[in-house]
Structures are given as C-alpha cells and as structure tokens.
Amino acid sequence: MATKSEVERFLNDFKTKMSIYQIIFLDDRGKNAQALLDLDMSPISRKETITKLKVEDYSEGPLDEKMRGILPMWVFGKTVKKQEVYIKISMGVENLQTICISFHPSEHPMNYPFKKEK
C-alpha cells in the first residue's frame, strides 16, 4: 500500500500529465462503455470524475498490470449516481497519454485506507 504522500504525488503528476497529453480509455471487453450507459454518463463527465479524484478515493496500488504490461496501476473509487465506481488508472509511457484501464461499477466492496469514517 502506498503512503498518503505517495498517493498525493501520483495524483498531482497524473493530473498534470493528463492536462498536457490527455487520457485514453481502454475498453477491450466493452465493460467500460456499458458502464457509461448504465451510469447515464458522458465520456466528458467520466474524464471530469477522474480529474476530481482525491487521496481519500484511493483504494490500492501501485499494482503490476499483467495483461497489458502498463506499470504501475492505481485503483480509486468514486460514488457516481449512488453507485461505487472502480477506477483503475496509469501514468502510461513517457510523453504519451495517461491511461484509464477500468471505469465501471465495482464488483466487490472497495477499501479506502485514507477515507475518514462519517
């Protein structure tokens, strides 16, 4: 598990890179596109959701990505229209876009180590 400062640094770097190089959304299985329909979300609002990620939304990472070799990946969760959404992102390779590997309703309860209990 990353420290709070490591998550802050990742999010700052990720958002800076995304503002310069944009973000690409991978969707080999159609799961992420279906999530937009299920959540009644536009691609622009999906990007805005990622832009608004905070340290408190951190769930796990950095993780090795075995299928695509994209290293490292970070997992965050955000509530969208009363549904917990699983968001997996990566910085991608140098001088290219950031990458969103997953953006869909979570399939299992997520853990948020930096979120304060209400």
The Cβ of residue 74 has, within 10 Å, a number of other Cβ atoms equal to 23
Residue 98 lies in a domain: yes
Residue 110 lies in a domain: no
pLDDT score of 117: 62
pLDDT score of 71: 74
Q: State how many domains the chain has.
A: 1
- Cβ-contact 88, 74 below 8 angstroms: yes
Confidence category of residue 107, pLDDT binned at 50, 70, 90: very high
Query: How far apart, in whole angstroms, are the C-alpha atoms of residue 100 and residue 50?
Result: 9
CATH number of the domain where residue 86 is located? 3.30.2310.40
Please compute the mean of the pLDDT values over residues 64-80 and round it to a whole number.
83
pLDDT at 49 over 90: yes
φ, ψ at 87 (rounded to 5°): -125, 115
Confidence category of residue 103, pLDDT binned at 50, 70, 90: very high
Residue 111 lies in a domain: no
Domain extent at residue 43: 4-105
Confidence category of residue 31, pLDDT binned at 50, 70, 90: confident
Query: How far apart, in whole angstroms, are the C-alpha atoms of residue 15 and residue 28?
Result: 24
Residue 112 lies in a domain: no
Residue 113 lies in a domain: no
